[in-house]
């Protein structure tokens, strides 16, 4: 399913199988979860880096061919493909354990073709081992929503037993809440949707409300998932002195003007940019240990436009996941 032009529907296209280059794997894709970033690329909110391009960066597949020089992977192995598709490994960010900030980083479904396809290639050193306890459909949402939510928890600085706010409650927040509850945190969830408030409560949130409401206790940290700047201000209003608001979004409309009093007393705002392979490996081990429960709406690959439309309209139960014909068979 190819994005030829932002703002236009994805186009079903037959292509020859890609050939894995040196150091790459060729995967037969079984499932690919749909992310809000895919929607932002499809709509043009996030500028395209190449066109045409195959979207999708939460793919699960099996190795069907190996490029030259690949070690540690064998035919038939299951592998996950995530947003970070490559980094140069030599810059000061990579050398310092921050490959997510590498100026030469390449991203799946943005710089290179992604997982809305029956076959795709991935750098072998950026492919991820997946926990055995998750089937292909359940594993797919872990690969972005779960991992970036985990990094957001780290950036926000929340500690076990702390008081955390989640602003917006889609696929990523649903997984993040489960990690926070595993750590014994008191979690408040703000969202416009009564359905999502009920879901958050069922997963252990101690308070739910709207963006214009204050939780009944001051927050030590908050994470915003809604791509709306006003929500960042709402979260900042709820954190106590010294607290951090982490913005889990690659695109934000704008942050409106707000009083400096909301930022004073050493409150801070931090963006969350991508994640590292170490983040992904840590999170996937944790997801298996908890174990995290994913909630999914499954659609066939040729209904990718329907999946994006449901996500835009807020009509997805957890995460939308595209199932490939091989999985359906």
Kindly give the interhelix angle for 145-156 and 171-182, rounded to the nearest 10 degrees.
50
pLDDT of residue 211: 96
pLDDT of residue 253: 87
Tell me the two tokens of residue 275.
Answer: 């994640």
Closest residue by Cα to residue 175 from 212, 213, 134: 134
Closest residue by Cα to residue 270 from 255, 238, 248, 291: 248
Q: How far apart are CA 101 and CA 83, in angstroms?
A: 13
**Could you tell me which residues come within 8 angstroms of residue 243 by beta carbon, excluding any fewer than 6 positions away?**
218, 219, 220, 221, 222, 267, 268
Question: How would you label 264-295 residue by residue, b for 16+ Cβ within 10 Å and e otherwise?
Answer: eeebebeebebbbbebbebbbebbeeeebebe
pLDDT, average across residues 225-237: 95
Percent of the chain beyond pLDDT 70?
Answer: 99
In the chain, domain spans: 2-142+275-328, 146-271
Query: Which pLDDT tens digit goes with each residue over 150-193?
Result: 999 999 999 999 999 999 999 999 999 999 999 999 999 999 99
Q: Does residue 327 register a pLDDT over 80?
A: no
Query: Structurally, what CATH architecture does the domain formed by 2-142+275-328 represent?
Result: Alpha-Beta Complex (3.90)
pLDDT of residue 329: 46
What values do phi and psi take at 316, rounded to 5? -115, 130
R_g of the chain, CA atoms, integer Å: 19
pLDDT of residue 251: 85
Q: Does residue 74 register a pLDDT over 60?
A: yes
* Cβ atoms of 81 and 108 closer than 8 Å: yes
Q: Does residue 328 register a pLDDT over 60?
A: no
* Cβ atoms of 185 and 130 closer than 8 Å: no
pLDDT, average across residues 11-25: 97
Query: Which pLDDT tens digit goes with each residue over 112-140?
Result: 999 999 999 999 999 999 999 999 999 99
Q: How far apart are CA 109 and CA 114, in angstroms?
A: 4
pLDDT, average across residues 285-297: 96
pLDDT, average across residues 84-113: 97
Q: How far apart are CA 280 and CA 285, in angstroms?
A: 9
- pTM score of the predicted model: 0.94
Helix (H/G/I), strand (E/B), else coil: 69: coil
pLDDT, average across residues 223-248: 96
Query: Which pLDDT tens digit goes with each residue over 19-70?
Result: 999 999 999 999 999 999 999 999 999 999 999 999 999 999 999 999 999 9
Fold adopted by 146-271: Rossmann fold (3.40.50)
């Amino acid at each position: 399913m190819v994005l030829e032009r932002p703002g236009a529907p994805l186009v079903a296209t037959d292509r020859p199988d890609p050939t894995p280059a040196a150091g790459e794997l060729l995967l037969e894709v079984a499932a690919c979860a749909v992310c809000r970033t895919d929607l932002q690329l499809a709509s043009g909110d996030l500028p395209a880096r190449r066109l045409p391009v195959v979207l999708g960066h939460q793919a699960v597949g099996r190795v069907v061919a190996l490029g030259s020089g690949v070690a540690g992977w064998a035919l038939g192995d299951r592998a996950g493909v995530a947003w970070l598709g490559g980094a140069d490994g030599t810059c000061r960010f990579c050398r310092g354990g921050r490959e997510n900030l590498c100026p030469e980083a390449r991203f799946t479904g943005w710089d290179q073709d992604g997982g809305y396809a029956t076959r795709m290639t991935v750098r072998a050193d950026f492919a991820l081992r997946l926990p055995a306890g998750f089937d292909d459909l359940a594993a797919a949402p872990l690969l972005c929503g779960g991992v970036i939510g985990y990094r957001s928890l780290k950036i926000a600085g929340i500690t076990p037993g702390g008081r955390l706010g989640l602003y917006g409650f889609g696929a990523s927040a649903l997984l993040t809440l489960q990690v926070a509850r595993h750590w014994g945190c008191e979690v408040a969830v703000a969202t416009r949707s009564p359905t999502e408030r009920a879901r958050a409560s069922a997963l252990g949130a101690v308070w739910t409300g709207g963006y214009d409401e204050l939780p009944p206790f001051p927050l030590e940290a908050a994470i915003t998932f809604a791509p709306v700047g006003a929500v960042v201000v709402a979260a900042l209003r709820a954190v106590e002195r010294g607290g951090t608001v982490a913005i889990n979004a690659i695109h934000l409309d704008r942050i409106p003007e707000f009083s400096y009093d909301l930022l004073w007393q050493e409150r801070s705002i931090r963006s969350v940019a991508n994640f590292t392979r170490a983040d992904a490996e840590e999170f996937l081990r944790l997801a298996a240990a908890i174990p995290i429960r994913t909630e999914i709406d499954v659609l066939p690959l040729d209904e990718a436009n329907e999946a994006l439309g449901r996500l835009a309209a807020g009509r997805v139960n957890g995460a939308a996941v595209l199932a490939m014909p091989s999985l359906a068979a």
